[in-house]
Amino acid sequence: MATGRVMALDVGKVRVGVALSDPLGYTAQPLLTLWRKSRGEDMRSLLRLIRKHEVVEIIVGNPLHMSGDVSPWAAKVQEFAEELRKRSTLPVTLWDERLSSVAAHEILNEAGHNSRNRKYVIDQVAAVVILRGWMEAKEQATARAALEQSGRSEEGR
């Protein structure tokens, strides 16, 4: 298993929530909220974070409609992700983020977080939700592959 931090982004019109995994890929933690300025400046800020934290892969929340159709905002986020992939030369994966903001609000409600200051952390928490979802799906796929492999080796006996 490759090691290194994975970064997740919840890209909004005003802010980008950033979360990171630990180097072994077991946990997801909020990192910061990037207040957007311009596409170029946003990219430079993200590239600095990628270098600083030795990121090996990037997950970008893909804000699809509930139907699964690409929303106008999802098209812009997909362009953002593609530019980040080109500039960083890292693998960038779009991850379905439907309901990540709802889950983030629920997490903050359960933690008793003040709703007045929520805008400063909600995007980070949404990025954590995105990263956790991706990590869990990857773990399940690995477990399925191991089961299938062990089934094949049993057949060969």
Q: Are 30 and 49 in contact (CB under 8 A)?
A: no
List the CATH number of the domain containing 142.
Answer: 3.30.420.140
Structural domain containing residue 136:
5-155
Number of domains in the chain: 1
The stretches in the chain having pLDDT less than 50 are 1
Q: Are 126 and 17 in contact (CB under 8 A)?
A: yes
- pLDDT confidence of residue 72: 92
- pLDDT confidence of residue 154: 62
Q: Are strands 15-21 and 92-96 parallel, antiparallel or unpaired?
A: unpaired
- pLDDT confidence of residue 106: 73
pTM for this entry: 0.83
- pLDDT confidence of residue 1: 43
- pLDDT confidence of residue 51: 97
- pLDDT confidence of residue 116: 66
| DSSP 8-state symbol, 36 | P
| DSSP 8-state symbol, 1 | -
Structure tokens at 109: 């409600």
